[in-house]
Each structure stands twice: as C-alpha cells, then as structure tokens.
C-alpha cells in the first residue's frame, strides 16, 4: 500500500495522534513493537505560527520513527496553511489534519470535529493545505457532529477531490465523544463506495487482536488506527499483526519486560520533558502497563504519587521483588 509515494505494509497499523500520549517517548516504544505509521500529538496551528514553545516542541521527530506524520488543528484557514508550511520544515513524511477532536475547547471553536458543521470550509481549508505543501496530506475525522448530521461519504469525496492521500475515520460522532460503540458500518460505506480511491483507515474500539482481524475482514478497510488500547500497552501492534498473519495469539509480555519497558519510557519521558512533566504524564500509562496483576493497587498508587525519578525506580524495583509471573493474567 502507498500513501502518496510512502510505501507501507499491505495492512498497516497506525498509532493515533493523542494529546499528551503519542509523544516521542511513547512513539519509540510503539515503533519497536510494530506500529507501521505514527502521528505526533495534535499541534495547534495558532501555537505554531506564534512560535509557542509547547507547540514547537511537538515537531520533534527522530529518524527511527519514520514514516511519521505531523498532525495540526485549527479553525482559521490561513493559520492552518501557515502551520502546514512550518510543519513541513520538520521533514515528516505526512501532514495530517485533525478534523476529529471532540473536546469542547477545540470543537466548539470550529476546529477539530467542529468543522464537520461546515463542509465547504473543511474542503477549502484542506485544499489550501494540500496546495501549500509538497508532502502527502491526510485527514483524520469522525462520522459527523451528531447522529442527525452524518455525511461521511460526502466528506470523503470532498476531501479526495481536493487531493488528500488517505483518510482515517473514527466511527463515532462528536456528540458521542468516546462513549457508546464505534459504528464501523459507516466506515465500510466509505471504503466500498466506487468513487473512493484513497486508502481508508478505521479507528475506534479496536482493543484485541481478535477484534482487529474481525473488523479487517468484515469492513474491508485498508488498515487500522490504534488509539486508547495502546496507552501503556505498546505490544498491541505486534499482537495484532501476529494474529492477523498467523491466526494465533502470542505470549503476553512478562513482568520483567513490562518493568523494563516502563523504565525506558520513564527515562525518555524525563529526558524529553523534564522530571516534573515527565513524571506527571507517565501516570496515564501505569494502569495498562501492569493490567492483569492481582493486588496491584498499592504499587500503582505509589507510581502515580512518586515525586521523583528515584522514587519511581524504587517502586518499579519493588514490584519486581513482590510479584511472580503466575500473577499476570492472560
């Protein structure tokens, strides 16, 4: 498969752009564990054109991450065009546009999923970005604003017409946020429309290898984007790949592997963000890293409440001493 001139496996697995999650430390682990194409955290177009430190830092990419896309969001066409040009200078393989973020402070200002209420503007903005850069432009979006305004086939055709090279669809509306079940029937409707020639990737609720294979076969998508299921569990990419290719499950990561992975994640997180923020943003990962270990709550709270790198390492070493492999559930 190709996105523009970027060659990918026949059925690629993508790491979703997630705020405060898909940063370089986490992406490094996902790449090692089988992610085929990754995206940065979404970056504010206004932040980029104003040279805001937090936004500019998100442009950091490393050679081993490639291919990688930089995702931008915003509600102003001119700002988005300028931000795309700035992002291109960071030399990613792809510029990705966020038309899917449901968070109120983004969507209710007309950015992210908010632009689904104004399809002509969405089309105009996308065309400006496609025309402004020399890289393939892709889009991630949702089905619609709510169940009464789902026009995802029209959205796909409009975006394809102005030159995007791939489309990822999250199978929920903005109104749903992350509640309820993702509806992949609409994603399949886009994929199976004879006028759609670009790759269509599905996103939403894929949290096991079995479900990934089932949805691949049922909905005929070109690939799958993994989001929340990868948080604290980067192994999911290789688990899905093996199940799709071999039709059997591979062994879950051992306790030692989990601890060593957390240490690598923690080290890189602190190196990249500094100790205070690095420790803080690791908190969201701990539950999944150690999911399936009985009576783990005390240690999880110790990790979350750790005030220093040394304290976190001490807790991780104590976990290794206090638990046996037999306590990790399948």
Structure tokens at 190: 């886009």
CA-based torsion, 275, 277, 283, 286: positive or negative: negative
Is 30 in the active site?
Answer: no
Structure tokens at 132: 């402004």
Q: Rounded CA gap, 282 and 100, in Å?
A: 25
Structure tokens at 37: 């194409």
DSSP SS3 for 322 = helix
Backbone dihedral angles phi then psi of residue 174, each to the nearest 5 degrees: -60, -40
Q: Of the candidates 91, 97, 95, 82, which has an alpha carbon nearest to the alpha carbon of residue 46?
A: 82
Q: Which of 13, 14, 70, 101 is labelled catalytic?
A: 101
Q: Which neighbouring-strand residues pair with 65?
A: none
Please work out, in degrees rounded to the nearest 5, the angle formed at the alpha carbon of residue 34 by the alpha carbons of 30 and 40. Answer: 40
Structure tokens at 325: 């492999």
Q: Which residues are catalytic?
A: 101
């Amino acid at each position: 498969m190709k996105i523009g001139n970027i060659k990918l496996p026949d059925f690629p697995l993508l790491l979703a752009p997630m705020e405060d999650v898909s940063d370089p430390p986490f992406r490094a682990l996902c790449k090692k564990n089988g992610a085929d194409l990754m995206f940065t955290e979404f970056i504010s177009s206004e932040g980029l054109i104003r040279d805001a430190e937090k936004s500019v830092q998100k442009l950091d990419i490393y050679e081993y991450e490639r291919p990688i896309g930089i995702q931008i969001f915003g509600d102003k066409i001119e700002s988005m065009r300028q931000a795309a040009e700035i992002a291109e200078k960071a030399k990613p393989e792809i510029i990705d546009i966020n038309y899917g973020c449901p968070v109120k402070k983004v969507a209710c200002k007309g950015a992210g999923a908010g632009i689904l209420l104004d399809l002509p503007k969405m089309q105009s903005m996308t065309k400006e970005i496609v025309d402004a850069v020399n890289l393939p432009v892709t889009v991630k979006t949702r089905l619609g604003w709510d169940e009464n305004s789902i026009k995802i086939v029209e959205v796909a055709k409009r975006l394809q017409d102005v030159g995007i090279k791939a489309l990822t669809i999250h199978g929920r509306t903005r109104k749903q946020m992350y509640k309820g079940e993702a509806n992949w029937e609409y994603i399949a409707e886009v994929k199976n429309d004879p006028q759609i020639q670009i790759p269509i990737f599905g996103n939403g609720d894929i949290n096991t290898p079995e479900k990934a294979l089932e949805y691949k076969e049922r909905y005929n998508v070109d690939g799958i984007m993994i989001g929340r299921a990868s948080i604290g569990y980067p192994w999911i990419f290789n688990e899905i790949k093996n199940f799709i290719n071999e039709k059997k499950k591979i062994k879950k990561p051992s306790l030692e592997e989990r601890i060593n992975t957390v240490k690598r994640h923690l080290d890189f997180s602190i190196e990249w963000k500094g100790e205070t923020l690095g420790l803080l943003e690791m908190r969201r990962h701990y539950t999944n890293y150690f999911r399936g270990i009985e009576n783990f709550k005390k240690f999880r709270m110790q990790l979350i409440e750790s005030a220093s790198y040394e304290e976190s390492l001490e807790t991780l070493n104590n976990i290794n001493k206090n638990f046996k492999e037999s306590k990790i559930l399948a």
